[in-house]
């Protein structure tokens, strides 16, 4: 492969991504290449990634169990700390058993192929996250994609399908829009058409539902057909993920999930950090309240702008701008004002819906939101005046 030519093509198409180097602790203001940037770009929704109690628990665990997992879980790497974290997570989500993974990406790409294979069928929402899509592809099952949230089409697809092994896969909270999947209706469909349902709650776990127990708890949804995936590097502020469900389903995953079996276990000290964080997630209701207040404050402050801000109950607030060029221009203007809010363009989001993806943290203060409101108002004027002049 001619890497230089391929990279030059990416550059020319405006698709070459660059990494920014962040120093120091996570928080609302990040040191980026030496500049303080007010960031609305992180998934540390509850502001726990730098929480002193969790840091102390991690250091204490490192002293007790070292820094590495040592081996894979089915050889000699399954530590008491993993066991304790799995039990704590099962209690937290009120499901019989859970299984820890090193990341959400590994959970989805491993679990779907463990559940369906060649001859089976996967039904996937158009806006699902890349790792659900990759898991579906790796499974070798037939993949059927339904328009976002369109349960009538999903039902028609399920009704037509005669394969015995069917699974519907969905984000719980969609990562680019912040909307919540209609899980109870999806369970009903799966029950009518004998399918399993996998809910990826990367952006809901810790954020929605009573006590931050996630999208299933938000709806009070339960079913033997459900598998629930939550990530631990976003609201929980640490790293990793877990899958929860009935005991037999989880035991099957232990036996068959390649991304669980053929990899070194998560460092036990991180399993201890997860447990310490879960206590704070459950305890600090004010963190979730703050996220909702931040959303309200931003939407109220930007009512006068020509951009739509759909109401969400999550930490994700899209600002729909439209064209790719305009979204990029807004991101650049904000950056010049010391604010980091990423522009998201197709194919990550549908054509014509390029946007800013604002994410809030409980560590943001009202003054931070007001600064964002002020900057966006200013930037809107600059960008709209620029568009009128063209």
Ligand X SMILES: Cc1ncc(COP(=O)(O)O)c(C=O)c1O
- 203 carries an active-site annotation: yes
CB of 306 to ligand X, least distance (A): 28
Label residue 180 exposed, middle or buried (CB < 10 Å: 0-12, 13-18, 19+). buried
Distances in whole angstroms, Cα of residue 104 to Cα of each of 99, 101, 364:
12, 7, 25
Report in angstroms how near the CB of residue 172 gets to ligand X at its nearest: 8
What residue ranges bind ligand X (CB under 6 A)? 103-105, 129, 131, 171, 175, 200, 202-203, 231, 233, 241
Which residue's CB is nearer to ligand X, number 175 or number 312? 175
CA–CA separation, 144 and 147 (whole Å)? 10
Smaller CB distance to ligand X: residue 200 or 333? Answer: 200
Q: Are 189 and 153 in contact (CB under 8 A)?
A: no
For the bound state, the minimum distance from the C-beta of residue 129 to ligand X, rounded and expressed in Å, comes to 3
**Complete DSSP assignment for 216-276:** HHHHT---TTEEEEEESSSTTSSS-EEEEE-HHHHHHHHHH-HHHHTSBPPPHHHHHHHHH
- Closest among 118, 114, 119 to 250, alpha carbons compared: 114
Q: How far is the CB of 357 from ligand X (least distance, A)?
A: 11
215 C-beta neighbours (distance < 10 Å), count: 26
6 or 130: CB nearest ligand X: 130
DSSP assignment of 318-339: EEEEESHHHHHHHHHHHHHTTE
Residue of 46, 33, 26, 45 lying closest to 338 (CA atoms): 33
**Closer to ligand X by Cβ: residue 134 or 293:** 134
Q: Which is nearer to ligand X, 175 or 333 (CB)?
A: 175
β-bridge partners, 4: none
| Closer residue to ligand X in complex, CB, 132/363 | 132
Q: How far is the CB of 158 from ligand X (least distance, A)?
A: 22
To the query of whether residue 222 is one of the catalytic residues in this protein, the response is no
Half-sphere exposure of 38 (CA within 13 A, CB side): 18
Of 73, 78, 129, 203, catalytic: 203
Distance CA 65, CA 78 (A): 12
Catalytic residue check, 76: no
Cα gap 195→188, rounded to integer Å: 10
Residue, CB closest to ligand X? 104
Neighbour order of strands in the sheet with 343-344: 316-322, 354-359, 343-344
| Closest approach of ligand X to the CB of residue 243, in Å | 12
Nearer to ligand X, 105 or 219 (CB): 105
Alpha-carbon radius of gyration of the chain:
21
Q: How far is the CB of 169 from ligand X (least distance, A)?
A: 11
Which of the residues 103, 175, 265, 361 is marked catalytic?
175
Name the residues annotated as catalytic.
Answer: 175, 203, 234
């Amino acid at each position: 492969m001619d890497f230089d030519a391929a990279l030059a093509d990416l550059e020319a198409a405006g698709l070459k991504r660059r990494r920014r180097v962040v120093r120091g602790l996570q928080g609302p203001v990040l040191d980026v290449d030496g500049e303080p940037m007010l960031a609305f770009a992180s998934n540390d929704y509850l502001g726990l990634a730098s929480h002193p109690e969790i840091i102390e628990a991690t250091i204490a665990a490192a002293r007790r169990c070292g820094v590495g997992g040592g081996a894979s879980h089915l050889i000699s790497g399954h530590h008491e700390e993993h066991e304790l974290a799995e039990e704590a997570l099962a209690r937290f989500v009120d499901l019989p058993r859970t299984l820890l993974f090193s990341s959400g990406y590994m959970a989805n790409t491993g679990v779907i192929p463990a559940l369906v294979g060649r001859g089976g069928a996967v039904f996937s929402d158009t806006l699902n996250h890349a790792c659900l899509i990759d898991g579906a592809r790796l499974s070798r099952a037939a993949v059927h994609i339904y328009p976002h949230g369109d349960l009538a089409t999903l039902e028609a697809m399920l009704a037509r399908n005669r394969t015995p092994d069917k699974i519907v896969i969905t984000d719980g909270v969609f990562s680019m829009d912040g909307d919540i999947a209609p899980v109870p209706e999806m369970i009903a469909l799966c029950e009518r058409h004998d399918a399993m349902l996998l809910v990826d709650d990367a952006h809901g776990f810790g954020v929605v539902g009573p006590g931050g127990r996630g999208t299933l708890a938000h709806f009070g949804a339960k079913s033997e057909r459900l598998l629930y995936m939550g990530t631990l590097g976003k609201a929980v502020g640490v790293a990793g993920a877990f899958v929860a469900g009935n005991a037999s389903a989880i035991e099957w995953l232990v036996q068959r999930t390649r991304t669980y079996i053929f990899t070194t276990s998560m460092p036990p000290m991180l399993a201890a950090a997860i447990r310490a964080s879960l206590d704070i997630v459950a305890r600090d209701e004010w963190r979730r309240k703050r996220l909702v207040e931040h959303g309200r404050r931003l939407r109220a402050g930007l009512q006068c702008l020509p951009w739509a801000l759909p109401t969400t109950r999550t930490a994700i607030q899209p600002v729909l701008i439209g064209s790719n060029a305009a979204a990029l221009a807004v991101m650049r203007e904000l950056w010049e004002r010391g604010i980091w809010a990423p522009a998201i363009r197709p194919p990550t989001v549908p054509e014509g819906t390029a946007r800013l993806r604002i994410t809030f943290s409980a560590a943001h203060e009202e003054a931070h939101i007001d600064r964002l409101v002020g900057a966006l108002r200013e930037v809107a004027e600059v960008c709209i005046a620029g568009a009128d002049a063209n």
